[in-house]
Structure 1
Amino acid sequence: MNIFIGYDANLPTQLWIAARYLEAVTFLIAPFFIARRVNAGITFWGFLLVTATLITLIFSGYFPACYIEGSGLTAFKIVSEYVICLILLGAMALLSQKKAYFSRDVLLLLYGALIATIFSELAFTSYVSVYGPANYLGHIFKIVAFALIYQAIVVTGLQRPFEILFRNLSKSEKKYRALFENMDEGVAVCELIRHENDITDYRFIDVNFRYAAMMGLTPEDIIGKTGTDMYGNAASPPHLKYYRTVAASGKTVRFNALYRPEMKYYTVSVFMVDPDQLATVVSDITALKISEDALIRANKKLQLLTQVTRHDINNDLSLAYASIDLLKGAIPDTPETNEIVGYLRESIDAINAKIGFTRSYEQMGSQKPSWQSVSSIVRNIRKEDPRFSSLKVEDSLGSLEIFADLMLPKVFANLMDNSIRHGKTVSTIYLYYQQIGNGCRIIYEDDGAGVSVEAKARIFEPSYSKIHGFGLFLIREILLLTGIEITEEGEKGKGAKFVLHVPQGGYRIM
């Protein structure tokens, strides 16, 4: 065609094969960028750089020869055509994995374009003359491929742009509508009604079936109506004060509500959708509330029973102590009788200690857990109990707080008591913490005698506590109420080291 004067048929063949490589690789990587934001500038300059590099290699003589006059195609050209076909097949496989992003007709057009391109490349592997029938057939397939690409991308994109732009949006809307309608929670989307910048009412613009069922209605009975329409007898629509709070702060508000006369308990979450709309999510917790109330009543009855029983046992113990004193004065004062009386007193003391333990155990979980400062707890214990005033405490906990049962002070009082009773030479207590990937470790360490390896695995068990006291067993039970575990990790002769393993969300640094 004499476009490039002074060059033979090898040059256009080289340009052709370079362009086909670029086209095939583009088809191969394109599926990876579907549903991703593409930087137009980087894309443009990237293609420009690759194109300039290929042209430079071709015109400088570094690109392999593709056609030799009188001999036909080179091995590089033929192999390249097959490689390009394999790349295009790979592109079809990747495209099939992303077929959900395309309408059926666009997908078929793209498949057709790739297949026509493959046939075109196969035709270009067998010609000898650049004007031969195989070359002619290859160009026909190439024209068909370009026409299909034009139809799939350009025509569809210009004539039916909404089909491409909103196809995924339509599918997402169907998916979330199905989720919305089948939730166990009731959901209502409301539009705020304002009068002189004050929120005076709200209008239901969408509700799911569950929300309507909670009100004994259908969605059609609610949508479009205002809160005043739905609750005409009320001084103001229910929850309006919460809606005002959410609209003013933009933060989610959660609260519990009791609806009479049905005596239904609900937990309600309200959050903003946009500046003039908010959503309400309602969960029916009636069964949970009834179970909770029944558990509280049963717990109170059990506490009353244990208190009465403990009172009666304490009366009997007082009588037993008095009887021992009378017995001691009525029998001869000999080593043998003193030993027997001592055994009796020790037995009664043990019973008294167990009764005291039941009093502490009874209080566990009787009130809701709360956030508590460990440093403040330890300071208060030292002030209130003179036994601990002589202990030096090196506290590195700072403003750390943990979410625990209100008996948490009992935990650290028992740990300090354990240090004094069994540490023998304890003079200093160390408190510090370590944040780890799934929570926090709070370390209580002393400089006493430590715990033997044999005892480590048993010191928190009830069987061990029967002999050495129930303090450590009680500590473990108190901490487990909020998911905190405790272990002993010290070395014998170097002091005890108790580690509280606080789960993620169970601690905070103020």
Structure 2
Amino acid sequence: MQITTEEIIPLLFFLMLVSSAFVMICLGLYSRRFSGNPAVLPYQILMFSAAYWALNYAIELSTVDLSLKIFIQEIRFVVIAFIGVLDLWLVLLVLDKAEWIKGWKWRSLFVIPVIIVLAALTSRYHTLFRYDYGIDLTGPLPTLTFSTGPLYYVHVGYTYFLIIIGLALLLLTRGESHRVYQKQRILLFGALAFPIVLDIMFQFGWTPVHRVNPTPILFWIVGIFYVIALFRFGFLNVVPIARSRVIEEMGMPMITLSTDSRIADLNPAAEKLLSGDSTQIRIGQYIASAAASWPEFILFCFSSENRTELSKQDDTETRIYDASMELLYSSEGIPEGRLILLTDITAQKKLETEIRKSEERWRSIVDGAPFPIVITSISDNKIMFVNQRTIRQFNLSYSDLIGRNTEAFYTDLGTREQIIKTLQVQDEIDDAEMKMHAGDGREFWVYASVRKIQYMNQDAFFISFADFTLRKNLEETLKRKNCELEMVTFSLTETNKKLNLLSSITRHDILNMVQVISAISEIIAVENQEPGFQKQIRMIEDAGKTIQNLIEFTREYEDLGQKNPIWQNISQTLQRASITLICSGITLITPEKPVEILADQMLSKVFFNLIENSIRHGRGISIIRVSTELEGDLLKIIYEDDGVGVSQDDKLLIFSRGFGNHSGLGLFFIKEILEITGMTIREEGIPGEGARFVIRVPEGRFRFT
């Protein structure tokens, strides 16, 4: 099935609008990490409002119902009427000018948007905002057409006015001269101007798709502008920060020493570290006196080292510091002192210890794993690690395996190359089947799972093996046995064909002889009319008929199960089997619900024999009823007649071979046919009230159609 352009464009626009909304929601949620900054709030509201706009527009473009389209565009103005206010608010917060719109000025900004929202929500009842709605179906998307009233132009003009004020403030308000601040303003200017350009294009009909506003589709770009500024330039919290504030609030202890080892400067973090909670450290104090309780630090201050690790005991634990020292020079290159920075790396050291312990635990687990594990270098294919099970599997020592190229263990290098080629496009492979050989030449089959990992600062393959040699050998043996079985089956089939041919010829010859006997009996009966002699002739004729019935039964029984079972409709099968009822005056009632059962293709013989049995033994029956009902997971097929029924003593015997006054094979044959597909048959009628045969069909062998 091909998708036309008329179907692709609506779907494409719907996906773009939903994707735009998703991106803006994610950006709004992500900005929560900067919740301490006041500019984050208008940014979040702006992103969530724009996301609502995009989703609202996607729904509108997806429907051709005029009333629904009008309602959707009415509720859209609940958010877009305030876009201009949000943009101006954001600019003022970034420029640190929020005090310009405090009090009544702030509240007055919302007067016109509130009026616009009320006018939009009631636009069906007046012509002040939008009216004369219709649907334009000439383009690829069903768009809403309307006439605009004065309040609509007030909305557009007011939104443009507020955004233009924001743009003017960015251009005219004096800021920092550093280029990083200039780039920030350029980003903000672009974020404000971009949606105006798009909306102007829409208002004048310059958009690529007729009557479709691209602003909500591309508004996510505005959000990206903000986020880039946030990540790279600290856009939402950029304010001029003096150097002294950075030093004072820096959590890293910083100390400046003069050339004679006096303290020239230190921040509060360094003062707290050297003196505890007291403030006894003085500028100009010798470092040896100020840090008297930390001899290790004093030695570092007077050493020639520029970096080392120091430890210091506090009230609860020993903390580790990364100490770095840098010489300070004047503009003439004369040494003026030393700058010492202390970085608390206690958490890092604890993490390193945990990692080391984790690696030891990992190595212990891997080494004791009940299956072979190998780590190989990607660059040179050499073995870097093996566990104990690998050593036993390959029958080589640890030293013989480590550093050895993996090519030595593959019986087919093509398999190895295929695995490497696959791992160039994906990071893992599961259950790759390959044949390998051990150090003693023994070959074995494995399933290999391969993962890309970092091991000892190298790209490596983590390989685990599962030996399935025994299973492989069993599969090969099974294949061989299956081939032998197929040959035996073929031979049996051919033999069976020959036996069937012989049986057919024999039956034909026997029936011919029976016909001869019957003909001779009739001639003798005509020539000799003595009563005693006539009785003997009838016995000969009955014996001949019995032989004929037995021969016919063997022919039908020979075909039993020769063909695959098929789905057969019960009612249709009954109609074919009820040919004997045409002239008998007996009414046949078939099941009301159409149902099929999976049965041998001789199913019609089942119903034929049941009907014949009713006619022969029912003694004047007038109706035969066949119905179905469920019994748990089984289906019951109920065959009933209004004859004399079956005596209690005969119920369990009637399905035995040879039982009855006729051939004794009819009901036996029925049971054999049904058992081929797992069905059973029982006689459950009440003697004197008619026969009732119940066939039970197992689950999965019946279906209602």
Instruction: With the length of structure 1 as denominator, give the TM-score of the two structures.
Output: 0.45
> Relative contact order (C-alpha < 8 Å, sep 6+): which is higher?
1
TM-score, structure 2 as length reference: 0.33
Q: Pick the structure with greater CA Rg.
A: 2
